Each structure stands twice: as C-alpha cells, then as structure tokens.
Chains A and B, each alone.
Chain A
Amino acid sequence: MEELTFGTLIAVLEEMFGQALFWGLVVIAVLVTIAFVYVIVRDRSLRSRWFLRAELLAPIGAIAAIWFVFVITRSGLGDVGGPIDVIALILIGLAGAVGLTFLAYTVQAVIGGKRGAA
C-alpha cells in the first residue's frame, strides 16, 4: 500500500523541526561539508595535528548526542530494553562523534588558515 518515499521522509522531518529550522540545519550541514572539502583541497591533505585534536572531541560529541536525546525524550540508560536500543544508542553516539570531529577539524583549518598547518 503505502511506500516510504524520500518525500515522506522530508515531510516528517520538516514537521519535526519546523520548516525553517530543518532547512536551516540542512544549509549548515552543507556549508560545513563544503568548508571541509575546501580546506582538504586547499591543504591537499588532512593535517594530522588538527585531526588529532578534533578526534579528541569525538567522545564528547558522542556523549553530548546521547545525553541530548535522553533529555528531550525524558528517558535514560535504564530504559534500554533490547538489542535494537543498544544499536540505536551506538548510532546516535556515532553521529555525535563524527559530526563534532568534522566540525572541529573544519573550524581549526578555517581559523588556522593555510600556514597554521605548519
């Protein structure tokens, strides 16, 4: 009967965040991605010092993401009831970790400029 389409997904996300916030977040995600690609192309490599520092923030990103979801849904670790819950938590943590790592690297690279990489 009803199939899950990309359009439905977008419709639900728009309702969840509000149209303005949702597309605002999309724009920010796109801008960060463009900035990341830009600094990689500019520097022709990933600068390990920035990357290491950025990676140190990964656990903070993971914990923050999970904490955020728990707070907005008034739940906690004690509510985990089955394997899929653990998987969902890992995915949320992973998203937070990867997101913050990218952001931190990009911010350092943009602020540090080309020479800061020395």
Chain B
Amino acid sequence: MSLDLDRRAFLAAALGATALGAARPARAQSVATSAKIVIIGAGAAGSSLANRLAARLDGAEITIIDARRRHLYQPGFTLIAAGLKPANYSVSDTSGWLPRAVNWIEEGAAEIDPEAKTVTTDSGTTVGYDYLVVAAGLKLNYDQIEGMDVSLIGKDGIGSVYASPEAAEATWREMDRFTDEGGVGLFTRPATEMKCAGAPLKYTFLTDDYARRKGNRGKTEIIYAAHSKSLFGVPIVNEKVRMLYGERGFDTRYEHVMKAIDPGRKVATFATPEGDQEIPFDFINVIPPMSAPDVVRNSPLPWADKWVGQGYVEVDQYTLRHNRYPDVFAAGDVAGVPKGKTAASAKWQVPVVEDQIVAQIAGREGTETYNGYTSCPLITRVGRAMLIEFDYGNNLVPSFPGVIAPLEELWVSWLMKEIALKATYNAMLRGRA
C-alpha cells in the first residue's frame, strides 16, 4: 500500500496513545458555489472525494451514484484469504462513509453523455452536472476465462482472492486444505491492467509460507504463471521478486496468459508464444482480466489508442482532467494513467482532483498534480512484508528514506499492513488523510 499511508500509520503506531491534543488540520478556506457535481462510484476514491469536496465547497450540490450498499476494503482480501481475518473484516456500509450533505443515488450509472453533461441511472433517471468525476473502479471479467465462473470459487481447489470477501474466505479454505495435502499450486495474473499488481505475488508467497509452516513444502509444487517476460512492471522491483522467487523455489512460467479452466479435470489452459499449454493443478488462484466498467467503456470517455478495449478514462496523467472534456475527471482504478491502480494511489489522486475542481470553480488553474505514486506492501510471509513505492518514472519513492528500506523483507512493514493500513484507509475515506 501506500508509503504515505504507511508513514502516517507508522508515526501513529510509534506515538501510540500518548499523543495528546486534538488539533484538526486547518482546512483551506471554503469556496461558495452552486455547482452541480456528480461522482460515479462510492468506493475508495469516490467516498474520499465526496467528503473532501463537501468540506471545501459551500453550497455545491454533490451527488454520488453507486448501487453497492457494502463498502469493500479490498486490500483486506489478501489477509482474509490467508486465514488471518474473517470475511466481514473488509465489509462496511457505504452510507456510513458519505457526508450528510451529499445526495447518494443507490443505483448504478448506465449512461454518460459528456456533450449534454448528463448521467443516466439504471432506472432511467437523468442527472445533470457541471463537473463529473468518474470513480467507478474496475470490472472483473471472469467470463473472459473459458469455463470460469465465480460460483466455482471454493470448490475443487479453485480459489480467487479478488472476487469478494466471501470468495477470499472460500479461497482460504481451499488454500488451507491444499497446504495440508500438498500437490501443485498454480498462481496466475491477467494480461490486462489490474488493481494492485502485487496481490498475485503476495498470495503465492503466503501459500508457500503456509506449506512450509505445516512441514509440507516438500510435497508441494508452486507454479507462477507470469503474463509477460517479467514478474512486475517496475524493473528494480521485478529483479527483487525474481530473486525471492528463486530462493523460495517457485517454478515461474513466463508469457503464460490463462484462457480456460476445466474444473472437472483440474486443468488450466494458457496462451503462450508456443501455443496453448495445459497445466494441471490441485489449487489455483485465478485472477481474471480486468477492464473499466461497461458504463465507462461504452461512453465517449475512454482512450481511443491506449488500453484498447479496456475502456480507461482519457485523462491527463498529472491533473487527472479529461483531455477532451475539461469538466470531467477520473480518480482511482478507472483513470487511464500508466500506474496507480491501488488505494494508496487513490489517496494521492483525490486531493489533486479536489484541487482542480475547486480551482476551476474559483476561476483559477489547479496547482496540484499526481506523480504516479503507487504503493503495494508486498507480503512475503506471515510476519514480514516489503514496502514497494514507485512513480511514473519507475523510480522508487520510499516514504521513509534511510529509515525503512524499500525492497527489504521487514517486520515493521508487516506491522503497517496488519494494523495501520485499514485505519489509514478509513481516515482517507472520511477525507481526513
């Protein structure tokens, strides 16, 4: 996760309950306006932005559109799937995170018309806007893997950490059984853009760790199917992970993209440069192809020449403002920017969108920009993690330079993931971090 998240969390942990006093951050002066702002999606980015805009703008009409009543703390899925937390660890009420001043329409957005400046909901209600923020996250396309369906998760050795908290818990039951019995563990990732590209790696490490703790690593084979010629898009991180994979005895198959599963035969099929290859498994963590949600993909908002077919919103990578529609912004996973599909990134993106919108309303140019900050604490076993933080330039941007080394397996980094990350995430949702 976020380095910035982590720094705060770390300081928080270090100071503990001895911190006295209750000074709140001085908020920038509020701006009076009657602007209509519509936010699509009440997830990590949307909720946080709704809170920040409600605090910054006086008189704005803010509407948030999202059919999902359950707010999901997705970084917790990995801990659930490792048997460390129950499924409800990641579940809360969407309504609890939204400020009273914001109007929540409990429906999905079905159509976006940036020329007419309207959004139409599933029931056909049309909402007009002066500013639109697309924060609809991304969509898991399990149906793009032949034979795969979410109803298979938790049966016959099939796991998938991504689908939901319940799926993560079902995956844990399969992983627990597998590490008791041994056999072939198969770990995949899609060839598309994805949220938290470290998550497939983490889960491989965690499964290996359980097999070792149970004394069953000898009868366990771990195969990691990488979609490309590398394990991670940032070269320095890739090299470190490659070394660790070697040390841990993983069998890495490069350029293997999962395309089909046969649950009866327990075989997965991969597209490779040498043609289709079948790999049998006793346990598999399926991570599906991802794209922008249909409402965005089918709108005029996506890039025409980048991430073709995936539908990510065509925004400037620094201001997050749409290149063709200056009153449209994107935040979170749905933004068509080269990095940044993590909650930690959303935390850095949201203040930028807030600043840009408030500035436009006040007739100024926004000054804040997003540098691509992405962070994903890479758990390497129960009790240790590595902090990985980088920017658009593939530079490491450690939050605690000289104190907490990046790319080093540390207990303090684990501590952050375990106790401080969710607190920081929640504070972000409230617009306070």
Residues of A within 8 A of B (CB): 1-2, 4-17, 22, 25-26, 29-30, 69, 72-76, 78-82, 84-85, 88, 91, 95
User: Contact: A12 with B9, CB < 8 Å?
Assistant: yes
User: Contact: A25 with B433, CB < 8 Å?
Assistant: no
The residue from B351, B381, B404, B430 contacting A84, defined by CB atoms under 8 A apart: B404
Residue of B nearest to A98 (CB): B18
Q: Which of B286-294, B329-337, B409-417 makes up part of the contact surface?
A: B409-417
Given A79-B411, A81-B408, A81-B410, verify A10-B16 contact (CB < 8 Å).
no
CA distance A29 to B422 in the complex (A): 25
User: Contact: B411 with A8, CB < 8 Å?
Assistant: no
User: Contact: B383 with A76, CB < 8 Å?
Assistant: yes
CA distance A14 to B347 in the complex (A): 18
User: Contact: A72 with B411, CB < 8 Å?
Assistant: no
Residue of B nearest to A78 (CB): B383
User: Contact: B427 with A15, CB < 8 Å?
Assistant: yes
- The 7 lowest CB-CB distance pairs between A and B, nearest first, are A79-B383, A7-B25, A75-B383, A11-B432, A16-B423, A15-B423, A11-B427
CA distance A9 to B11 in the complex (A): 7
CA distance A95 to B13 in the complex (A): 12
Q: A1-B373, A9-B19, A81-B411 are in contact. List 15 more A-B contacts (CB 8 A).
A: A1-B348, A1-B368, A4-B7, A12-B427, A15-B423, A29-B20, A72-B418, A75-B383, A75-B411, A78-B383, A81-B408, A81-B409, A81-B410, A84-B405, A85-B412
Residues of B within 8 A of A2 (CB): 4, 347-348, 351
CA distance A5 to B20 in the complex (A): 14
User: Contact: A79 with B384, CB < 8 Å?
Assistant: yes
The residue from B12, B368, B414 contacting A75, defined by CB atoms under 8 A apart: B414
Residues of B within 8 A of A (CB): 4, 7-9, 11-12, 14-25, 84, 347-348, 351-352, 368, 370-371, 373, 381-384, 403-405, 408-412, 414-415, 418-420, 422-424, 426-427, 430, 432-433
User: Contact: B415 with A73, CB < 8 Å?
Assistant: yes
User: Contact: A26 with B20, CB < 8 Å?
Assistant: yes
Consensus secondary structure, chain A interface:
helix
Task: Determine how close the nearest CB of chain A comes to the CB of B85; give it in whole angstroms.
Answer: 10
User: Contact: A1 with B351, CB < 8 Å?
Assistant: yes
Pairs A–B under 8 Å by Cβ, sample size 28? A1-B370, A1-B373, A4-B7, A5-B25, A7-B23, A7-B432, A8-B427, A8-B433, A10-B19, A10-B23, A11-B433, A12-B427, A13-B17, A17-B17, A25-B17, A26-B17, A26-B19, A75-B384, A78-B383, A79-B384, A79-B411, A81-B408, A82-B409, A84-B403, A84-B405, A84-B412, A85-B410, A88-B14
Residue of B nearest to A10 (CB): B22
CA distance A79 to B404 in the complex (A): 15
Residue of B nearest to A25 (CB): B17
Residue of B nearest to A18 (CB): B423
Residues of A within 8 A of B409 (CB): 81-82
User: Contact: A88 with B412, CB < 8 Å?
Assistant: yes
